Structure 1
Amino acid sequence: MRTVLAASGAALLPLAFAAPAAASGSDDAQVAVFHGVPGLTVDVYANGDVLLEDFEPGTITDPVELPAGSYELEVFPAGADAEAEDPAISATADVPAGANITVAAHLDEGGTPTLTPFVNDVSGLDAGDARLTVRHTAAAPAVDVRAGGDPVIEGLTNPNEETLELPAGSVSADVVLAGTDTVAIGPADLDLAEGVSTIVYAWGSAEDENLALAVQTIDGLESSPSGVPSGTGGLVSDALPWQLALVGVLGAGTVLVLGGRAVRASRD
C-alpha cells in the first residue's frame, strides 16, 4: 500500500472548494478530514505543520476552525520523516470563509489514492425532517439505494454523493448493484434524527474485500443556523449493514474524510 501511495500521490493536486451551502458570517471555516485509504496509518501536515498524527483508516476528525486561505496538505505514512521523504498524497486546498467542509482521502474507483473535498450542506431543515447524504468513496462499482423496495438513489459512482431530505424516523433500505435487483445487503433499518444531517461514507476496496463504513453527523439544523454547526466525528461501524454494503458494492463525508485529534494548522 505504501508503494501504491507513493507512486500515485507524488504529484501536487490542486483542490478548490465549492462555495459553502451556508455561511457562518465568520472568516473561519469548519474543516473535517476523513481517512478512507485502507491499510495505512498516516500523519497529515498542513503548510508544513503537523495536523494529525497516527491517523487510522475509517476515522473522521471533529471539525477544526481554520482561517480562510490556501493550505498545502501532505499525507505521509505514520512516523515518516516529512523533511526527507516525499508525501504519499499532496494537494493545495483553497478554503473559503465560512465554509463547512470534509476532505476525504480515499481510493478512486480504480483503487488509486486521491483527495476529494466535499462541501457539507448545513442549510436549515423543516420541522420533523432529517437529511441523509451518501458519499461513494470506495474502489467499487456504481450502486442503487432502495427504500421500501423502490430506488431512491440510482447509479451512484465514486467520488459522487446524493442527498435526500425526508421525514425523521426509521427507514428500511437495501443496496443493489446499479440497474439490477441483485441485493448487496439489507434490508435494514436506518434511524434518522430530526434536524440532523447524517453523512455516510462508503470506503475501501471491493476487490480486496475490505469495504467499510464511516458516518459523520451535523446537528442543529432544525432552522436556519446563525453559525456553521459543528459536526461529530464518526467511526467505522459494522452495526449499519446497509450503509456498509453501499460502500462495498465507501472513509469525505461530508466528507480529506483522515481522524484523530484536532491540532491547529498554520496558514499561508
Structure 2
Amino acid sequence: MSRGRTVTVAAGVLAAAASSLWSVSPSVAAPERARVFVVQGLPGRLVDVGVDGRPVATGLAGASLSRAVELEPGAHTVTFSSGGSEVLRRSVDLRAGSSSDLVLHLPVDPSGSPVLTVYDNTTKAVPRGKASVTVAHTAAVPPADVRVNGKVLFANIANGEALNLVVPADTYTVDIVPSGADSPTVLGPLDLTVKEGSLNRVFAVGDPQSSTMRAVVQVLPAGSTGSGAPDLVDTGTGGQAAARTSPLLEPLLHPGAPAAPVTTPAP
C-alpha cells in the first residue's frame, strides 16, 4: 500500500509539471538593436535625416556628427534633405548589435551629387596601451596620402575608402596631401590624441577648392586586453598602408622611439 501511494503521488507531480510547461509560453529574447551615427559631410548645408519616414536628426551642419540612433536590425530607408528638398535616399541593411557610421559626403568632383558611404565600427578590444585609429577619405579630393608625424602611413586612399591602424596611445600630428606628393596640404596638420582602449575614427570631409576641408572625429570605447605585443592591422576598403616592416612605423609601434606629437580637432 505504501509503495502504491508513492507511485500515485509521483505520477500526480509529473502531470502537474507537464501541465505547467504546456501552459507557459516560452519567452524569446528580442534581437539586439543596431546603432548608427550620421556624419554630415556636406559643407554649407543644414541637413535633416529621416529613417523609414521618421525624423532622427535635424539641422546637422557640415562637418558634424549626430547622436547615436538605435534601430531594429534589418533593412531601413534613410533619407537626407536640405532646405525642404531631398538630397539623397538610400536603403541600408543593419545587423543585430552592429554599430555603423552613415557618412553623407561629396564625391571627388564637388559639383557632383552627394553620396552615402556606410562604415562598420568594429570595436574589437586592442592590446593594452594601444588604440585603434581609422582614417576615412570622404572629401572632394582625388586619391591622397595620410601622413602621421610626417610619415606616410595611409597611401593612395580614394574617396569613400578607409584604412585602420593599431597604435600606442599618444598624440600624433596628422595631415593629408595629394597621393605621392608632399604638397599642397589638403587638410591639417591636425593634433590627434588617441586614448588607450578606444576606436578613433577620423573623417576628412569638405572641398579644398572652397576652403571647407574639415575633420570629423569620433571616439568609441573598444576596451583593452592583455599586454600584447605592438601590432599593425591594415584593414579597410581600399588604399595601401605603408609597408609593415618599414622603419617609418617605428615611432608608432615603439613609444620610446623619437616621434613628433600629433593633433586632431573636436567634432
Fold in common (TM above 0.5): yes
* 3-state SS, counterpart of residue 87 of structure 1: strand
Q: Superposition RMSD on alpha carbons, in Å?
A: 2.5
Q: Distance in 1 between matches of 2:49 and 2:189?
A: 37
1:90 and 2:92 aligned: no
Is the alpha carbon distance of 1:174 and 1:60 closer, same or farther for their aligned partners in structure 2, counting shifts above 3 Å? closer
Aligned to 1:168: 169
Q: Which has the higher contact order (CA 8 A, sep 6+)?
A: 1
Is the contact between residue 198 and residue 218 of structure 1 (CA under 8 Å) also seen in structure 2?
Answer: yes
1:109 maps onto 2:103 in alignment = no
Mapping 1:136-175, distance limit 5 Å? 136-175=137-176
Aligned identity (percent) is 28
For residue 64 of structure 1, the aligned residue among 65, 69, 77 is 69
**Aligned AA for 1:153?**
F
What's 2:78 paired with? 73
Structure 1 residue 72 displacement after superposition: 1.0
Q: Could you tell me which amino acid in structure 1 is paired with residue 207 of structure 2?
A: S
Deviations 1:76-98 (CA, angstroms, capped at 9, x unpaired): 224x2xxxxx6221011111111
Summarize deviations over 1:220-246 as a string: whole Å, max 9, x none: 42149xxxxxxxxxxxxxxxx9768xx
Name structure 1 gaps, 5 residues minimum.
1-24, 81-85, 225-240, 245-250, 252-268
- Pick from 54, 57, 63 the counterpart of residue 59 of structure 2: 54
Partner of 2:16: none
Moved more, 63-72 or 185-194: 185-194
Residues 205/175 of structure 1: CA separation in 2 closer, same or farther (3 Å cut): closer
Whole-angstrom CA distance in 2 between matches of 1:178 and 1:243? 21
Asked if 1:199 corresponds to 2:201, the answer is yes
> Does structure 2 retain, via aligned residues, the 8 Å contact 1:174–1:183?
no
Q: Which amino acid aligns with 1:181?
A: D
If the length of structure 2 is used for normalisation, what is the TM-score? 0.68
Structure having the higher Rg: 2
The Cα of 1:66 is off from its aligned counterpart by 1.0
Counterparts of 2:162 and 2:49 in 1: how far apart (Å)?
25
User: Which one-letter code corresponds to 2:131 in the other structure?
Assistant: A
Number of the residue aligned with 2:21: none
Flag the 1:54–1:166 CA change in 2: closer, same or farther, 3 A: same
- Where 1:88 maps in the other structure, the secondary structure is strand
Cα deviation, 1:177-236, whole Å, max 9, x if unaligned, reads 211222516655432111111111110112222111111011242149xxxxxxxxxxxx
User: Which deviations, in whole Å up to 9, do the C-alpha atoms of 1:3-30 show, x marking residues without a partner?
Assistant: xxxxxxxxxxxxxxxxxxxxxx952111
Q: Secondary structure at the match of 2:126?
A: coil
Instruction: Give the number of the structure whose residues are more often helix, by fraction.
Output: 2
1:149 deviates by 3.5
Q: Secondary structure at the match of 1:216?
A: strand
Q: Is the 8 A contact 2:145 2:156 kept in 1?
A: yes
CA distance in 1, matches of 2:127, 2:166: 9
1:248 corresponds in structure 2 to none
Query: Counterparts of 1:94 and 1:106 in 2: how far apart (Å)?
Result: 19
Q: What residue number does 2:37 align with?
A: 32
Whole-angstrom distance in 1 between the partners of 2:184 and 2:208: 15
Is the contact between residue 47 and residue 60 of structure 2 (CA under 8 Å) also seen in structure 1?
Answer: yes
Amino acid at match of 2:172: V
On the 8 A contact 1:173/1:189 being kept in 2, the answer is yes
Q: What's the counterpart of residue 232 of structure 2?
A: none
Q: Where do 5+ consecutive residues of structure 2 fail to align?
A: 1-29, 227-261
Q: Give 1:208's aligned amino acid.
A: S
1:129 counterpart residue number: 130
Distance 1:242 1:156 in 2: 20
